[in-house]
Amino acid sequence: MNLTLIRYFMAVAETGSFTRGAERANVTQPTLSAGIKRLEESLGASLFERSRAPQLTPAGARFLPRARLLLQEWTAARHDLRQEGRPTKLRLRLGYIPGLPQRRLTALLGGFASAHPDVALEILEAPAATLTRRLDLGRIDAAILPLGDDSDDHSLTLFRQRYLLAVPPKHPLARRNSARISDLQDQPFVIRPQAEIMPAAEKLFDGLNVRPRIIGRAESDAALLALVEAGIGVALLPHWLISDAVATLTLPELRDMHRIGLLWRDDTHAALAQLRDFAAGHDWDAATDRAVLGH
C-alpha cells in the first residue's frame, strides 16, 4: 500500500476539505483527488461522500484509525532502523550542591562533555541531603558535595573550602588581617542557616559564650555577600567568593575546612570512571572564582 495515498486521505479527513488537504500535503488538488481515488480503488470502498464539505463514509470512518496507526508504525520503524549502527551514549547523572565556584564547575562539566562525547551527561543542582538521598536510591550516579571526615573508597576530594569573615569596608575590623571570636560579640551577622560552616561556627561561638546579633538570613552565599557589600552586616563566606567591595579577615579559632568532592556508590559505572579520571586532573584553584552558582 502506498503511504503517500494514506497521507492524502489523512489530510482531507483532518482538515475537512480537499483544498486544505492539498495545502497540508503540499500537492495540487487534482493530484490529491486522483491519489484518494486510487486508494479507494485499492481498498474497494469509497472513503468520502463527495460534497461541498467532504464527509467520511462508514468505510472511511472505519479506515481512519487504521490509517493513523499505519503512519505511526511507519514513522517508528524508520526511526528504529535509522538508529541501528549508531553508538549508544552512556548515561551519567551528576548532582552538585549550590554554591560551588561557577567558572570552575562549568569548566569541569564543559571540558568533560567535550572530551567524552560518548557520554550523555544529565545534571541536577540540589542541597547535599537531597543529593545523598538520591544517590542512595540510585536516582543519580554521582554527586559533588561536602565529604565527611572519614576516608571513603567511593569518594574523590576535588578541593578544600575554607571560610573568611567578610565585613563592610568601613567596619571597625576592616583594617585588620584577623580577628578573634570574642571580637564578634554583638556584631550584626547575616547568615545562611544551611551553610556547611554553621554547625562548627555555632559550636565555637557557644563554647566561648559569644553571642553575635543575627539580623538577617539568606538562601545563598551570593546574597550574603551583597548584604555585606551594602553595609548591612558581617558574614562567614567561602574563600573563593569574596569581592573587592568587602574586607576579609581570617578567624584562626575557626579551623573548620570542608573537603568538597565527588561521591558515588557504583564502581562498575563506565562513564563514572571517566568522570573520576577527568575530575582528578581538574584545577579548581587555577584562579579565585568570585562567581557563584546558587548559594
Could you tell me which residue, 75 or 48, shows the higher pLDDT? Answer: 48
219-267 pLDDT, tens digit each = 888 899 999 999 999 999 988 888 889 999 999 998 777 788 899 988 8
CA 242 remoteness from chain centre: 25
Write out pLDDT tens, residues 146-195.
887 765 788 988 888 889 999 999 999 999 999 999 999 999 999 998 88
Q: Which pLDDT belongs to residue 288?
A: 43
Examine the domain organization and report whether 168 and 156 are in the same domain: no
pLDDT digits (tens, 9 = 90+) for 77-87: 877 777 666 56
The pLDDT-based confidence of 101 (bands split at 50, 70, 90) is: confident
Residue-range definition of the domain harbouring residue 135: 90-160+258-280
Long-range pairs for 60-63 at CB < 8 Å and ≥24 separation? 60/9, 60/13, 63/9
- Largest distance between two CA atoms of the chain: 96
Kindly state the average pLDDT of the residues 262-274: 88
d(CA 38, CA 29): 14
Residue 293: the pLDDT is 37
Residue 287 lies in a domain: no
Q: Spell out a b/e string for 175-211, using b for 16 or more CB atoms within 10 Å of the CB, else e.
A: eeeebebeebeebbbbbbebbbbeebbeebbeeeebe
* 130 and 146 within one domain: yes
Give the domain-ending residue among 16, 51, 83.
83
- 238 near 163, Cβ under 8 Å? yes
Check residue 83 and give its pLDDT.
Answer: 64
Instruction: Specify whether the CB–CB gap between 139 and 217 falls below 8 A.
Output: no
Band of pLDDT at residue 295, cut at 50, 70 and 90: very low
Clarify whether residues 169 and 245 are in a common domain.
yes
What pLDDT score does 257 carry?
A: 73
Please write the tens of the pLDDT for every residue from 8-60. Answer: 999 999 998 999 999 988 888 999 899 999 999 999 999 999 877 889 999 99
Q: Grid coordinates 488537504 are at which residue?
A: 21
For position 16, which CATH number holds?
Answer: 1.10.10.10
Asked whether residue 289 is domain-assigned, the answer is no
**Which one has a higher pLDDT value, 290 or 119?**
119
Question: What spatial distance separates the first Cα and last Cα of the chain, rounded to whole Å?
Answer: 61
Whether the Cβ atoms of residue 196 and residue 239 lie closer than 8 Å to each other:
no
Instruction: Quote the pLDDT of residue 81.
Output: 75
Within a domain: 34: yes
Number of domains the chain is built from:
3
Answer yes or no: is 182 within a domain: yes
* Whether pLDDT at 270 is above 90: no
C-alpha cell at 193: 542557616
* Predicted pLDDT at 282: 76
